[in-house]
């Protein structure tokens, strides 16, 4: 009879003994490239979903000027004070960076 113990990426322990098969679908570690920004375009608020925790964000206009920045921990970015137009939303998580084109109406 085989016995085993494993630790998942979320530090949960799984074990099996007496030759039983134990299966559990393990979630992948969230990735920055999986972040979804919605609604896009928006008039006031962007929501971030399905990705790793974002440490900081910057909103950059089409001239390359940073027009808003902050720490992101609530999964919501308010853009009420921005003028209508296209921007780049730059998300940073650890040493990774991702830019997403957004539109404020």
In a domain, 78, yes or no: yes
Note the pLDDT of residue 54.
Answer: 86
3-state secondary structure of 51: coil
Structure tokens at 70: 């902050």
DSSP helix/strand/coil, 80: coil
What is the CATH classification number for the domain harbouring 74?
2.60.40.3080
pLDDT score for 1: 53
**Total domains in the fold of the chain:** 1
With H, G, I as helix, E, B as strand and everything else as coil, classify residue 59: strand
Q: Give one DSSP letter per residue of 6-30, joined into a string.
A: EE-TT--EEEE-TT-----PPPPPP
pLDDT in tens, 38-49: 999 999 999 998
Low-confidence ranges of the chain (pLDDT < 50): 7-11, 18, 21-26
Quote the domain boundaries for residue 96: 29-104
């Amino acid at each position: 009879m085989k016995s085993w113990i494993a630790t998942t990426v979320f530090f949960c322990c799984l074990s099996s003994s007496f030759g039983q098969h134990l299966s559990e679908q393990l979630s992948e570690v969230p990735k920055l490239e999986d972040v979804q920004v919605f609604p896009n375009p928006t008039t006031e608020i962007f929501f971030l979903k399905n990705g790793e925790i974002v440490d900081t964000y910057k909103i950059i206009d089409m001239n390359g000027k940073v027009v808003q920045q902050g720490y992101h921990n609530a999964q919501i970015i308010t853009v009420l004070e921005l003028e209508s137009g296209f921007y780049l939303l730059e998300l940073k998580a650890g040493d990774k960076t991702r830019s997403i084109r957004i539109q404020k109406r």
